[in-house]
Structure 1
Amino acid sequence: MRDFADRLKRLLVGRPVPSQALGETLLPKRIALPVFASDALSSVGYAPDEVLVTLAVAGLAATALSPWIALAVVGVLVVVVASYRQTVHAYPSGGGDYEVVSTNLGPHAGLLVASALLVDYVLTVAVSVSSGTSYLAAAVPSVAPYKVQVAVGVVTLLAVLNLRGSRESGGAFAVPTYLYMAAIGAMVVAGLLQELTGHLGRAESAGFDIVAQPGWDQGLAGLAGAFLILRAFSSGCAALTGVEAISNGVPSFQRPKSRNAATTLLLLGSIAALMLLSIIHLAGATGVHMVENPATGLTSNGQPLGASYHQDPVIGQIAATVFSGFKPMFYLVTAVTGLILVLAANTAFNGFPVLASVLGRDEFLPRQLSQRGDRLAYSNGIIVLWLGAVAFIVGFQADTNSLIQLYIVGVFISFTLSQVGMVRHWTRELATVTDARSRSRMRRSRVINAVGVAGTGLVLVIVLVTKLTRGAWVTLTIMGFLYLVMNRIRRHYQRVAEEVAVADLHDSRVLPAHVHAIVLASRLHQPTLRALTYAQSTHPTSIEAVTVDTGDGGADRLLDAWDDAELPVPLTILDSPFRDITRPIISYVRSVRRESPRDLVVVFLPEYLVRHWWEQILHNQTALRLKTALLFTPGVVVASVPWQLGLGEGARLSRTSRSRTDIQDADVASRDADASRLAPLPHEEQP
């Protein structure tokens, strides 16, 4: 079975890569941009939808505010990008927000940021893949009933690609990402030219009327209207997710790492801002109407459209309008938008494992997460992210509208605390640096980060107020749970380190008083003889063989064969009136241990090594139960003695005779060793 698993792993993941090749997996800027920026760029695929849907609650007139909300979002994006450019220069090790906050605000604040980012990465995968499958379901309606299964399959494929290594996954995702940027750019340019020349058409939904929801007949008037605007703004801020991934992925860049990461971050922010503003503008120019429930929220001639109407995403409606005379371009824009939404999850597959490895190194998560796999990727972190994303997708049935309410809370918590940490970092650095040019640069950086604190802090308050009851409480609950778990893991590692630490090597007793060997025997065959030979070769203080009498006559036959063979090892027979094998052995081993608490009990367990994976089902089941039960028994060690099945008959006969001779020789050697241990050394003083 192990060989089968290894072959399957090699097929999916590829051959192992030596550690010396780590430098070959580093990413140039042209590959790093699609790898780390696909999340933020793909947000253009659903952020405009969320802004328009939120404003449509108050009727058609309210949607006229969408360009101003987009400008506000872009303003925050500029602040965040400028702030994180300072971070990648000051902290290029890949810890990102976690390292910044832990270093400057303390480990508890750092752990809070880590909890927020871990949850946000998982939600990035779930939201992106769910949104991408929505595009697929819109293009191919027959896929809609299997949306969850398709989403799970896509996440699994992304996980496998990332297990093959960041360079291979980056190369696979570069072409679709650049194609997406080119397609959206072509759509925007064509739409703006048509608008300037007066040839821009109207979207299909432009002919429908938006019905204000009950209680919003007066539009955006009063405090409720302000609250709705803030909610639309917080939904639009989904476009900022993914910016922090570059600060976590600085070690993946080619040298000079910090400069390349800062340049990539600037490119990301510029492209995302231009795309968001352009799409929101074209949505207004073409008259795109979006509502949360199109069956009742949109009307034609005063009549609801009903459940038969399918509401296409904003980009899909704009592309259909702009390229109404050239359908291939419409299909290209729709296809690459759906694809980039799926591939946006790759940003999380690069950020989550790196952050988890740092937390594993600091012993807040299992240490296995800090180890690289065969392909030099953090394989364990990739698998954990895959499991978490699948859980969210299945739990929320791949519903983007439900998942997005949980989104961006964590990322703005990390944004805000990170900027506070950077302000404190520059303040501390200014106290030690005397060079005038360096001090001027640090003051400028501190001002940028201070503006970042104000901007992201304000957005965080808005997000919490507007999204708490709509699902953000789920995110906060999971964050709190992760925070407690990571603290508990840290305390466990500290307790273990204190327990196993050696205070004085000279005073420590590293050997038990005696070693009692127990060889388990069901029949007198070659595996039993090998186990006896191996047990005696360890020179235990005492040795015995143990079998269980289940009433089928097997114990009597073993006893007769034992006497005929004249083996120098006593055989103990345990009675089992209820025909249970494992429980009597476990009770006996524990009783031996209780009689001599300072002694070590070693249980030698013969096991078969099978040739085919399916043969494992036919053998070793009792051995597996015994090992599992004895594993947690203090003072007991289980030693598996393997026997390879499938050898020739000649090998069997020669091995049998050799094992019998070895037992006799081992018995003599054991007695000689015991005598030598009892005999005083020449330099020892005689009593």
Structure 2
Amino acid sequence: MFNLPQALKRLVIGRAMRSEELGETLLPKRLALPIFASDPLSSVAYATGEILLVLTLGGTAFLYLTPWIGAAVIALMAVVVLSYRQVVHAYPSGGGSYEVVSTNLGANAGLVVAASLLVDYVMTVAVSVASGVDNIISAFNGLADYRVALALGFVVLLTAMNLRGVRESGKAFAAPTYLFIGGILLMVVTGAVRVVFGDDPQSPSAAFGVSAQDGKGTLAGLGLLMLGLRAFASGCTALTGVEAISNGVPAFRKPKSRNAATTMAVMGLTAVVMFAGVTALAMTTHVHYVDDACRLVGLSGDCHGYTQQTVIAQLASTFLGGDHSLPFYFIQAVTALVLVLAANTAFNGFPLLASILAEHRYLPRQMHTRGDRLAFSNGIIALAVVAGALLWFYDANVTSLIHLYILGVFTSFTLSQIGMVRHWNDVLRTRTAPAVRGAAQRSRVINGVGAVTTALVLVIVLITKFTQGAWLAVVAAVLLWLMMRGIRRHYDAVSDELAIVDPREETVRPSKVHGIVLVSKLHKATLRALGYAQAFRPDSLEAVTVSVERDATRELAARWEEFEVAVPLKVLDSPYREITKPVVHYVREYRRGNPRDAVAVFIPEYVVGHWWEQLLHNQSALWLKSRLLFTPGVMVISVPWQLSSAPRADHPARRAPGAVRRGEPTPGSDIPEPERI
């Protein structure tokens, strides 16, 4: 029988893969780079713009700070990349910052990092997709009204690609990432050559002046310092996703640590060159980029209807032939594409981290389960749902979303570097070989500098962005931390409760087993349930029915006698026409009177073949099960009867090996709802 949902699933994510095929999904460096490093590489497209966006709050007077802030961001990126290369070598199992901090600073500190990273991964998807949509709108202004729909559509596309597996998503995303790198480098080299040879190109926005926000035009002293720090904090978005490689080491081919460290070095060098080039060209061509187009002086027409081009779009227009040239559209296309695909860093990092947390019992165990394509499907879907909700709530606006960003990144940066310093201290206490001690001392210095630097940046980000919306990210991380602690307490309590103390006490048999078969009518399903109950050989057995309609009950009793059913029939009165309460009350009263006995309740059920047939049968058995399962000493046993519309197991020619047909009970699933008892 053709199964449309299953066919659509295979079309979207491909054939199911065996567990033994996991090794085939491991990544060479050329695919690992676009998968794990697309976020920090693509942030080149908006990091410079975020710096300019803050500095132009004071008009054009403070744009001279741009190269200094850019240099600070580059220095910070170098420190972080060098620091995380130490993490990759020291902790190759893939826990990244979470494993480093949990091992060296304790479980609670590790959960702080985990919560911060999970929040930041969500923000990576939201900001990257929203920024990608901005670049599309820069090329095609008519799409501005469809901003949210485009963003949500890209999230759905990314989800589908990642559900197909890490290796396949890497193949799909590799070309756009490398085209973006090539396009930006081409634009930077072209611009540098023109400037060196005396050309003085001007960006499209250079002709506009910028009016300062109220009170921002004459900043000095502390006010100027805070503006510079705020611009630096916004520029630090260039560092988001750097830690993803340290989380994804298990996905690399052997030697895993060396390949991951090499990939991280290539990523850092490439990102620094592109960011420095874009920032230098933006300063040379006098790009003016503001938070509100109405602050542009000299703009003709209605400022509210004016769509600002991104920094990348303005540079491409300046150096590659204008707004309608083929190179301009190429840069805009690959930039938009790589920004959307930058979210793929989070789609790989979030599920990996969630699976580790689930393995440690801090998240639901389903997060540790691999899907048909050996990807952590539940983590991928959870990330997509939350990120999609943020994009919808904030109208896919980068400026609004960016304030929630990077706080979690620098929390994990700082704690992981402190943890690495403690790790190297332990190495120096226990190892005596000169070569090992020398390497540990060098690494400790690198991580120590990283800890101090990232801690300072964390304070700056917290101060400058907290009132701008970063408090929401703090609240989300705290709630997530509390939730993970609660999940761990639950799993620990269940484990303690199920732990075997005395095997002899736990295996004591009940005095006897009393069987109860629930009956609504006397038909084939009822007789099968009676026969099944008798096959269990309980010490006592009775059939129980609830008298809702007296005539129907009298007819049932008459037929019971007519067919000479050997099992006695017990009738429970129900003056208020309820079914569940009388049965539950009867079973519980029996247990109170016979606390050492076990009760086995057999429920005959219909199995139908179509979803709409479920609507034709009520849900009494479902309610009965849910109530009876909370009663100690009571076992609930479903006895299915497959109706003619249900696919049957006795047609092997129509069944694929190991297939489970619609309507059949499957291991671990609920049995379809029955006819009324």
TM-score greater than 0.5 by the shorter chain: yes
**Who is 1:310 aligned against?**
307
Question: Residue 259 of structure 2 corresponds to which residue in structure 1?
Answer: 260
- Other-structure match for 1:209: 209
Of the three residues 509, 522, 525, the one matched with 1:524 is 522
- 1:343-492 equivalent positions in 2, closer than 5 A: 343-492=341-490
User: Shift of the alpha carbon at 1:581?
Assistant: 2.8
Could you tell me which residue of structure 2 aligns to residue 54 of structure 1? 54
Cα offset, 1:587, TM superposition: 2.9
| Paired amino acid for 1:324 | G
Report Cα offsets for 1:401-436 as digits up to 9, x if no partner.
111101000010000000000011011001111111
Paired residue total: 647
* TM-fit CA distance, 1:163: 1.4
Taking the aligned partners of 2:630 and 2:41, their CA distance within structure 1 comes to 51
Q: Is the 8 A contact 2:138 2:313 kept in 1?
A: no
**Once the two structures are superposed, what CA deviation does each residue of 1:271-299 show, in whole Å capped at 9, x if it has no partner?**
1111111111111112210111112x111
Q: What is the Cα deviation at residue 200 of structure 1?
A: 4.8
1:126-145 pair list within 5 angstroms? 126-145=126-145
For residues 145 and 535 of structure 2, what CA distance do their matches in structure 1 show? 64
Asked whether the equivalents of residues 551 and 577 of structure 1 are also in contact (C-alpha less than 8 Å), the reply is no
Provide the C-alpha distance between the structure 2 equivalents of 1:608 and 1:136, rounded to a whole number of angstroms: 54
1:73-129 Cα offsets, whole Å, 9 max, x none, are: 010000000000000000000010010001111111111111111111111111111
Measured after TM superposition, the shift of residue 315 of structure 1 is: 0.3
Q: Kindly state the Cα deviation for residue 150 of structure 1 after the two structures are TM-superposed.
A: 2.6
Letter aligned with residue 391 of structure 2 = I
Q: Which amino acid letter does the alignment assign opposite residue 645 of structure 1?
A: L
1:491-502 → structure 2 map (5 Å cutoff):
491-502=489-500
Judge conservation of contact 2:138–2:310 (CA < 8 Å) in 1: no
- Cα distance 1:391–1:595, how it changes in 2: closer, same or farther (>3 A)? farther
> 1:647, CA displacement in angstroms?
7.5
Tell me which residue corresponds to 1:673. none
Specify the code of the residue in structure 1 equivalent to 2:276: L
1:28/1:603 CA distance change after superposition, 3 Å? same
Secondary structure, in 3 states, of the residue corresponding to 2:558? helix
What corresponds to 2:533 in structure 1?
Answer: 535
Distance in 2 (alpha carbons) for counterparts of 1:517 and 1:139: 73
Q: TM-score scaled to structure 2, two decimals? A: 0.92
| Contact 1:426/1:445 (8 A) holds in 2 | yes
**Is 2:321–2:327's contact at 8 Å kept on the other side of the alignment?**
no
Residue 626 of structure 1 corresponds to: 624
1:299–1:305 CA contact under 8 A, matched in 2: no
Residue type of the alignment partner of 1:214? D
Residue of structure 2 in register with 1:680 after alignment: none
- Residue 586 of structure 1 and its aligned partner are, at CA, apart by 2.9
Q: Given that residues 14 and 164 in structure 2 are in contact (C-alpha distance below 8 angstroms), is that contact kept between their aligned partners in structure 1?
A: yes
Counterpart amino acid of 1:100? V
Q: Is the 8 A contact 2:525 2:641 kept in 1?
A: yes
* CA separation of 1:200 and 1:586: change in aligned 2, threshold 3 A: farther
Range with bigger deviation, 394-403 or 576-585: 576-585
* AA aligned opposite 1:317: Q
2:316 alignment partner AA: A
Tell me which amino acid in the other structure corresponds to 1:349. Answer: F
Match among 559, 562, 583 for residue 561 of structure 1: 559
Q: Distance in 1 between matches of 2:550 and 2:351?
A: 55
Equivalences for residues 124-203 of structure 1 within 5 A: 124-203=124-203
Instruction: Tell which deviates more after alignment, 53-62 or 635-644.
Output: 635-644
Tell me: CA distance 1:647–1:473, structure 2 relative to 1, closer, same or farther (3 Å).
closer
Shift of 1:512: 2.6
Alpha carbons of 1:576 and 1:137: their partners in 2 closer, same or farther (altered >3 Å)? Answer: farther
Partner residue, 2:655: none
For residue 206 of structure 1, give the secondary structure of its aligned residue in structure 2.
Answer: coil
Matches within 5 A, 1:84-123: 84-123=84-123
Match in the other structure for 1:669: none
Is there any run of 5+ residues in structure 1 with no aligned partner, and where? 653-687
State how far apart, in whole Å, the 1-side matches of 2:102 and 2:627 are: 41
Counterpart amino acid of residue 606 in structure 1: P
| Cα separation, 1, equivalents of 2:42 and 2:297 | 30
Query: How far did residue 2 of structure 1 move?
Result: 12
Instruction: Report the alpha carbon displacement of residue 630 of structure 1 after superposing the two structures with TM.
Output: 2.8
Say whether the 8 Å CA contact 1:586–1:626 is kept in structure 2.
Answer: yes
Any conservation in 1 of the 2:136–2:332 contact (CA below 8 Å)?
A: no
The answer (yes or no) to whether the contact 2:57–2:290 under 8 Å persists in 1 is yes
Q: Distance in 1 between matches of 2:550 and 2:335?
A: 70
Cα distance in 1, alignment partners of residues 449 and 104 from structure 2: 18
Higher mean C-alpha displacement, 555-564 vs 206-215: 555-564
Q: Deviations over 1:130-180 (max 9, x none)?
A: 222222334344443332233222212211211111001111111111111
Distance 2:30 2:364 in 1: 34
- TM-score, with normalisation over the residues of structure 1? 0.91
**What is the CA RMSD across the aligned residues, in angstroms?**
2.1
What is the CA–CA distance in structure 1 between the aligned matches of 2:301 and 2:231, rounded to whole Å? Answer: 24
584-593 or 389-398, which moves further after superposition? Answer: 584-593
Residues 466 and 2 of structure 1: CA distance in aligned 2, closer, same or farther (over 3 Å): farther
Paired with 1:324 and 1:353, the residues of 2 have a C-alpha distance of: 42
The structural deviation recorded for 1:66 is: 1.0
Aligned with residue 318 of structure 2, among 312, 316, 321: 321
**What is the alpha-carbon distance in structure 2 between the residues aligned to residue 61 and residue 309 of structure 1?**
24
Alignment of 1:661-676 (within 5 A): none
8 Å CA contact retained: 2:543, 2:568: yes
Deviation at 1:59, TM superposition (A): 1.4
Among residues 577, 580, 589, which one is paired with 2:578 in the alignment? Answer: 580
Note the alpha carbon deviations across 1:519-557, whole angstroms, 9 max, x for none: 122111111111111111111222222222222732222
Query: Which has the larger displacement, 587-596 or 464-473?
Result: 587-596
1:204 is paired with a residue whose SS is coil
Aligned CA distance change for structure 1 residues 412 and 307 (closer, same or farther; 3 Å)? same
- TM-superposed CA distance for 1:590, in Å, is 2.9
Matches of 2:200 and 2:544, distance apart in 1: 89
Spell out the pairing of 1:270-309 with structure 2 (5 A cutoff): 270-295=269-294, 297-300=295-298, 306-309=303-306
2:304 aligns to what SS in structure 1? coil
Larger gyration radius, structure 1 or structure 2: 1
Distance 1:4 1:596, change over 3 A: farther
> What amino acid is aligned across from residue 247 of structure 2 in structure 1?
N
Q: How does 1:60-71 map to 2 (within 5 A)?
A: 60-71=60-71
Residue 665 of structure 2: aligned partner: none
Letter in 1 for 2:273: L
Preserved CA contact (<8 Å) 2:151 2:396: yes
What letter corresponds to residue 425 of structure 1 in structure 2? H
Query: Identity over aligned residues, as a percent?
Result: 55
Equivalent position SS for 1:586? helix
1:579 is paired with a residue whose SS is: coil
1:305-363 C-alpha deviation (Å, 9 max, x unpaired)? 62122111100111111122570110011111111111111101111111111111111
Q: Is the 8 A contact 1:294 1:305 kept in 2?
A: no
Aligned counterparts, 1:327-346, within 5 A? 327-346=325-344
**What is the Cα deviation at residue 246 of structure 1?**
0.4
Distance change >3 Å, CA 470–CA 569, structure 1 → 2: same
Question: Structure 1 647/161 Cα, relative in aligned 2: closer, same or farther at 3 Å?
Answer: closer
* Conserved? CA contact 2:230–2:465, under 8 Å: yes
SS in 2 for 1:207: coil
For structure 2, the residue ranges without an aligned partner over 5 or more in a row are: 651-677
Q: Distance in 1 between matches of 2:56 and 2:301?
A: 15
- Mapped partners of 2:592, 2:301: distance in 1: 79
